[in-house]
Amino acid sequence: MFKQVDYVIAMVSDMDRAVQFYRDKLGLDLKFQSPGWTEFNTGATTLALHGGGTPQHRPAPSDDVVQQAGSCHIGFSVADLDKAYEELKAKGVVFVMAPTVRENEGIRLAVCLDPDGLQLSFAEPLPHPV
C-alpha cells in the first residue's frame, strides 16, 4: 500500500532560525522558504518545516527521552560519523550524544538538537565482521 515516506514535518517556533540551522549548519538543500512552510530536498524524502509552533520546555535528552513513546526524531545516514560530528560541532551544533557504538543496532550514532530541541541523529553503519 505504501512504498516510502515522502516527507517529514517538523513544527518550528521561528522559521528563519530553523532555516538557518538546517540550511547553513546542516547543509541541507533548500527547496523553498515561506513564513509558514519550508521544504528541504533530502533525497527521496522531503523535510518540511511548519511555522507557528509553540516553544516548549523539554527535559535534557537522555536514553529515557530518546525512547519515550510518542516522541520522534529525524535520522540521517553518514559515511564518516567522526568527520560529520567534528564539522557540525565546529559550526555550533549542540550534540547530546557523541559518536557512540550501538552494536545491537549495527551502527555508530551521534545525536544533536535543532533550535527547538528536536533530536536529530547521524548514523554510520558498523563494518561487517570478517
Domain ranges of the chain: 1-55, 56-130
pLDDT of 130 higher than 50? no
- Residue 67: per-residue pLDDT: 62
Q: Do 56-130 and 1-55 fall under one CATH topology?
A: yes
pLDDT of 129 higher than 70? no
pLDDT of 18 higher than 70? yes
Taking the C-alpha atoms of residue 4 and residue 14, their distance in angstroms, rounded to an integer, is 29
- Residue 1: per-residue pLDDT: 87
Residue of 53, 61, 35, 54 whose CA lies nearest to 113: 61
C-alpha cell at 117: 530541541
CATH architecture of 56-130: Roll (3.10)
DSSP β-bridge partners for residue 97: 111
At 37-63, the pLDDT tens digits run 999 999 889 999 999 888 876 655 555
pLDDT of 64 higher than 50? no
Residue 42 C-alpha from the chain's centroid: 11
Q: What top-level class would CATH report for the domain 1-55?
A: alpha beta
